[in-house]
């Protein structure tokens, strides 16, 4: 379910980036692992926010894939806004 949604979003040319926000309830849960598999290797900018006391294991796995992970949704959104602004600047300057 999650991976299908991420695939659809990642293919949409109107989407500048993807923010993944997930509340974790167990140390390693299949939905979080499915999301990790789905977001790995995407060309769109992706940032993640896994919330909950049990999130540390999945956070380490996401960071190992090179996906920035933030402790709050606000920080993830700010990071994505910065990535989008950077891409717009590069595009307008031809680089």
Distance between CA 92 and CA 73 in Å, rounded? 29
CATH number listed for the domain at residues 2-92: 3.40.50.261
Identify which of 51, 50, 17 has the alpha carbon closest to the alpha carbon of residue 36: 50
The domain ranges of the chain are: 2-92
- 27-36, 41-50, 66-75: which range is least confident on average? 27-36
The predicted pLDDT at position 19 comes to: 92
Instruction: Tell me: pLDDT of 28 over 70.
Output: no
Query: Per-residue pLDDT averaged across 77-85, rounded?
Result: 93
Distance between CA 80 and CA 85 in Å, rounded? 9
Say which residue, 41 or 79, is predicted with more confidence.
79
Q: How confident is the model at residue 95 (pLDDT cuts 50, 70, 90)?
A: low
Asked whether 3 and 31 are in contact (CB, 8 A), the reply is no
3-class secondary structure, 18: strand
The predicted pLDDT at position 35 comes to: 83
């Amino acid at each position: 379910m999650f991976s299908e949604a991420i695939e659809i979003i990642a293919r949409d040319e109107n989407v500048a980036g993807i923010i993944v926000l997930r509340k974790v309830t167990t140390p390693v849960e299949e939905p979080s692992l499915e999301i990790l598999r789905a977001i790995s290797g995407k060309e769109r900018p992706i940032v993640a926010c896994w919330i909950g006391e049990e999130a540390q294991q999945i956070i380490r796995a996401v960071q190992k894939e090179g996906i920035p992970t933030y402790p709050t949704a606000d920080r993830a959104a700010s990071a994505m806004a910065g990535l989008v602004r950077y891409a717009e600047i590069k595009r307008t300057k031809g680089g």
